[in-house]
Chain A
Amino acid sequence: MTEMEMEVRPTKVGVISCSGEAEPEGTIARNAVRLVMEKYKPGLVVSLCLPLYLAGDGAERDFAKKVPVIAVDGCEKSCARLATEKYSGEVESWLDVRDLLAQWGVKDKLSRSHPGKLEEELTERVALEIAKLVDRLVEEGKVEVESR
């Protein structure tokens, strides 16, 4: 019985970013998710590829059903959150980069195509926010950290 429970307890967190090609916040969202995966939470975070929800063979959708998902959106249109809800299920937590930037009082014009120092700094800050959400999931016991 307990063995069964242990088997189904997720050991990974799925993080999905909107693709956000058209907006600088989209580029920040995408790069921040990648940073969390590579730098802040390697081995714990698995990125989900949004367009694959529709175009893929179901692996992306199925995985998103099995693990807690954090959606990272560039703007209020909330594609990452809504697409996850549409194709897979509820998201565990959600973050809107444009919202965050407003909270931080960032008013500069940002580039979607040529991230400079400012964009990179903001990407790091967003990544840290995502990492906090991951930590919270671990604290709440929604994900099991494998001892490696």
Chain B
Amino acid sequence: MVDNRPSEDPADMVVLPCNGLDKEAGSASRELALLLEERGASIVCSVLYQRSPKRYEKELGAGKLVVIDGCKTGCASKLAAERGLKISRKLAVTEEAKARGVKAGKKPRLGVALRNLLPALAEEILAIEPPEAPAAPGKPDSFAGSVTFREFSVDKFVFRVPESGYFFNENDCWARVEGTRSRVGVSDYVQQSASDMIFFEPPEIGTEVSIFDEVGSLETTKTALDIISPVSGKVVAVNREVVEAPELINQDPYERGWTAEIELTDFEGDRELLMDSPAYFDYLKQKAEREHKELYGG
């Protein structure tokens, strides 16, 4: 979701590291947190946080939370989950190290190989962290209005379509227009029939698209598909949250799972070729009943 805060300072980042001293990965998490702190993030000490959670109330309320687990025991993320903290990003040092060909050791002292990985890892976290620019200057998130849905079911599958406010093409992609901009994404039908999303390749910011052009692509555990733009215009933002966690499309295809934001050039023209929410509901109902066997394909 687009961030509501005016500033995009790395000072918005709050880091909760594992802090553990029983293995090398624990020491590495602590070191990584310190590197991030040098760049302006604030650290929550997990030990102190457990004794006096109030101490960090302010930081945790204001910033984006990055949780660094040492190993897969995941103490830091478990702690965050127990306290109901909203995690913006989490990573496990053993995993990250492994992906880079380094095996974290059993002794707690931080070795050279793992230490050398940390600066790049810190940069990576910082690079991904800044949220997208707000939807429109001065209007932080104009797409935040609540959405209500209509449902229909085909056997045990329940499909949802927004009651109003969305436009659809026959490629099951939607547009939600606010002012001169539109967010786009894929419908509930796509996420259910294509199965679990594993990869979202966003379009490049600045790309000019015409209606029915590709505007990013998705890969799922079953298949690969293009997102076919329901509108014409210029890509002004992509949903970084979905790049990081494509499963958001499965969880919430119409709101948090938006994929790109487009500055519209001819919505009146585009609209002629789109269905509104009720029309798409009827269209999809027929289509789902016709094609539902595909859903059972595994």
Contacts and interface: CB of A to CB of B under 8 A. Distances in A.
Contacts of A48: 156
Nearest to B293: A43
User: Which of B155, B156, B158 is packed against the most chain A CB atoms within 10 Å?
Assistant: B156
Contacts, number: 21
Interface string A2-46: 000000000010100000000000000000000001100011001
Interface residues of A, number: 13
B296 A37 contact: yes
A59 B157 contact: yes
Contact of B156 (A37, A38, A43, A59): A59
A63 interface: yes
A46 B293 CA distance: 10
Contacts of B153: 59, 63
A35 to B, nearest CB: 13
Contacts of A14: 156
A42 B295 CA distance: 12
Interface string B57-72: 0000000000000000
A47 B296 CA distance: 9
Nearest to B156: A63
A63 B293 contact: no
Interface string B119-161: 0000000000000000000000000000000000101111000
User: Which of B153, B155, B158, B293 is packed against the most chain A CB atoms within 10 Å?
Assistant: B155
B46 to A, nearest CB: 29
Interface in A32-78: 37-38, 42-43, 46-48, 59-60, 62-63
A88 to B, nearest CB: 12
A59 B152 CA distance: 12
Interface in B282-298: 293, 296
A43 B155 CA distance: 10
A128 to B, nearest CB: 20
B155 A63 contact: yes
B293 A42 contact: yes
B158 A59 contact: yes
Nearest to B295: A46
A136 B157 CA distance: 25
User: Which of A37, A47, A59 is packed against the most chain B CB atoms within 10 Å?
Assistant: A59
A60 B155 CA distance: 10
B73 to A, nearest CB: 23
B156 A60 contact: yes
A63 B158 CA distance: 10
Interface string B155-171: 11110000000000000
Contacts of A12: 155
A14 B155 CA distance: 9
Nearest to A63: B156
Interface in B249-298: 293, 296
B285 to A, nearest CB: 14
Nearest to A14: B156
Nearest to B292: A43
Contacts of A42: 293, 296
20 contacts: A12-B155, A14-B156, A37-B296, A38-B296, A42-B293, A42-B296, A43-B293, A46-B155, A46-B156, A46-B296, A47-B296, A48-B156, A59-B153, A59-B156, A59-B157, A59-B158, A60-B156, A62-B156, A63-B155, A63-B156
Given A42-B296, A46-B155, A63-B155, 10 more contacts: A12-B155, A37-B296, A42-B293, A46-B296, A59-B153, A59-B156, A59-B157, A60-B156, A62-B156, A63-B156
Pairs A-B, 9 closest by C-beta atoms: A63-B156, A46-B155, A59-B158, A59-B156, A12-B155, A46-B156, A43-B293, A60-B156, A37-B296
Interface of B: 153, 155-158, 293, 296
